[in-house]
Structure 1
Amino acid sequence: MARRVFFSFHYQRDIWRVNQIRNIGEIVGTAAVGFHDASLWEEAKKKGDTAIKKMIDDALLNTSVTVVCIGAASAGRKYIDYEISQSIARGNGIVGIQIHELKDRLGNTDLAGATPALLTRAGAPVYKYADHARLAARIEEAAKRAGR
């Protein structure tokens, strides 16, 4: 059975980078800020914080691991702490993956970003993205640490 993973990331800045890593065999990626339909995110933003938090909560359903994709601006995202705290509350395994060295749609890499403070306080390990196989292994390690 495929493992369902919630990917937390800065949509506008890092969607191209995250799309390069989310298609791993045996991993089903979900995210509050639609891989499938960005218009859903825009609609939720118009409705306010409650709608966005519901979207995040719904995306976390049936996931066992949260991957916090750390780019140059991830730590400053408005909902990063909510995504991490909700992941912890539901017992997800959590891992941080630095993605700044992946190229964007224009072929540019980015600056390394700060690790979100709540991720550090949770004791979640943080790794630099290397390849799909290592990311899949990190996801499995996070699941086992959480007993999932």
Structure 2
Amino acid sequence: MVQQDNSRKHPVYFCFHAERDRQRALHVSALTGTVDQNRLSDWTDESWEAAAELGEQGLQELIDEKLGDSAVTCLLVGERTFEKPWIGAMLQRSLELERGILAIHVHDIPDENGNTVKKGPNPMGRLTYPGRDRQQYPFTSAYPTYDWKHSDGDRNVAAWIEKSMDPSGTGID
């Protein structure tokens, strides 16, 4: 899911519900020019299940492989993205690797049949990170979440990704 963006040099990993939101991910990634469109479907329930059978180590290896040389992890939030058990581990690992992180609600982007879905909960709302004071804070307090339709994603997604690269905006050391 990661391909070098030749203009900005910020490869982006798009994290999404592959079976439900692939077309939405294709739309978003096409506007960023950061992803090889042919690799968007390589994270599936089958790859998750195979890694889960190998235990925590198997999952960690798959996550590290998928994150690759990315500089940004972009969580595309659809109606049921929160159901995917690997989302939390992916975002936590992105934090450990000091990647830029952002979430985008993509429920209003039509799928291949022209259908949209209901807005789903943001998985970052249930994840925490340790602050400087050793207290736990929600990811949503440090990493931005955008709404594709209401925040004009077609025109602003590249700027959102660029902004996520600036660590001063997160409040995290």
TM-score (norm 2): 0.71
Cα distance in 2 for residues equivalent to 1:12 and 1:74: 10
- CA RMSD of superposed structures (Å): 2.6
- 1:118 aligned to 2:137? no
Greater mean alpha carbon deviation, residues 120-129 or residues 103-112? 120-129
Q: Structure 1 residues 29 and 141 mapped into 2: Cα distance closer, same or farther (>3 Å)?
A: farther
Asked whether the 8 Å contact 1:5–1:29 carries over to 2, the reply is no
Cα distance in 2 for residues equivalent to 1:3 and 1:109: 29
* Cα distance, 1:52 vs structure 2: 4.2
- Larger RCO of the pair (alpha carbons < 8 Å, separation 6+): 1
Cα distance in 1 for residues equivalent to 2:109 and 2:33: 22
Largest Rg, 1 or 2: 2
User: 1:141 aligns to what SS in structure 2?
Assistant: helix
In structure 1, list runs of 5 or more residues that go unmatched: none
Cα distance in 2 for residues equivalent to 1:18 and 1:12: 11
Structure 1 residue aligned with 2:19: 12
Match of 1:22 among 18, 25, 29: 29
User: 1:3 aligns to what SS in structure 2?
Assistant: coil
Match of 2:61 among 45, 54, 57: 54
Greater mean alpha carbon deviation, residues 19-28 or residues 101-110? 19-28
Cα distance in 2 for residues equivalent to 1:108 and 1:37: 23
TM-score (norm 1): 0.82
Q: Structure 1 residues 10 and 44 mapped into 2: Cα distance closer, same or farther (>3 Å)?
A: closer
Q: Structure 1 residues 58 and 94 mapped into 2: Cα distance closer, same or farther (>3 Å)?
A: same
Paired residues in the alignment total 143
